[in-house]
Amino acid sequence: MSIIKRPLDSDPVIEVCLTPALWYQFDYAEKNVVVIDIIRATSTITAALYHGVEKMIPVETVQEAEAYLAKGYLVAGERDGYKIEHFQFGNSPYEFMGDDVKGKTIIHTTTNGTRCVLMSKGARNIVAGSFLNIEAVVDWIREENRDTILFCAGWKDHYNMEDALYAGSVVRALSDQFQILDDATLSTKMMYRYIRANMLRSVKQAQHFKRLAKLGIEKDIKFCMGNHKYDVVPVYDGEGFVRMK
């Protein structure tokens, strides 16, 4: 395991894990972790809690989600971008904006993002980051002033651009207070600097966008790449994501 350590009494460190395949390199005990799955899991979690969902409980497998479904829970899920047919919801943020889900607990399973949440168990805090709530997340990280890992979900252990762009935007916003000690983190900051004016145009060239656009969810993609200023930080309470008090 490659562990980045900082000297005592120095500024906290911010790190970026570019894919789950690299997670084994990180020591996350006592660090804060921001899970990032822009298109669409963490954007959906953020939108759902902002619009009144009580809790989003991530589970890794379809079988686990089906067990909850059999007990009468509301269940949301997708695999390879497709809604799981017999679940009530898929993984679109638009599905969680109505009065019918306010105050509800939703079981949530996705191809990439929910897995990363469960991989992060043991961290000091786990929160969901998206462009929808980036200002709230940056403010929270700044206030915590603790070593932080930005964990990009990617696509089936592969790197993708939009998660890295989000990580870079957070790193850039916090570089006055947090140390950058590795090239992965520095590279996301530099990429965001040069792409930020045309992020959606750049992301449209990426394979993940092309893969998901074929499913007819371009409306979701555009929404997830926007800054909607949702003043909510979804925090994992050991069971699921709730609004941070």
Q: What's the predicted TM-score (pTM) here?
A: 0.94
Torsion of CA 137, 142, 148, 152, to 10 degrees: 30
- Structure confidence at residue 203 (pLDDT): 82
- Domains contained in the chain, number: 1
Residue 6 domain-assigned (yes or no): no
Distance CA 78, CA 90 (A): 6
Residue-wise pLDDT for 102-149, tens only, equals 999 999 999 999 999 999 999 999 999 999 999 999 999 999 999 999
Residue 5 domain-assigned (yes or no): no
- Structure confidence at residue 145 (pLDDT): 98
242 near 233, Cβ under 8 Å? no
What residue numbers bound the domain in which 131 lies? Answer: 14-243
Residues of the chain with pLDDT under 50: none
Residue 122 domain-assigned (yes or no): yes
Residue 2 domain-assigned (yes or no): no
Residue 9 domain-assigned (yes or no): no
Nearest to 131 by CA among 59, 237, 203, 214: 203
CATH number of the domain encompassing residue 102:
3.90.1560.10
Residue 8 domain-assigned (yes or no): no
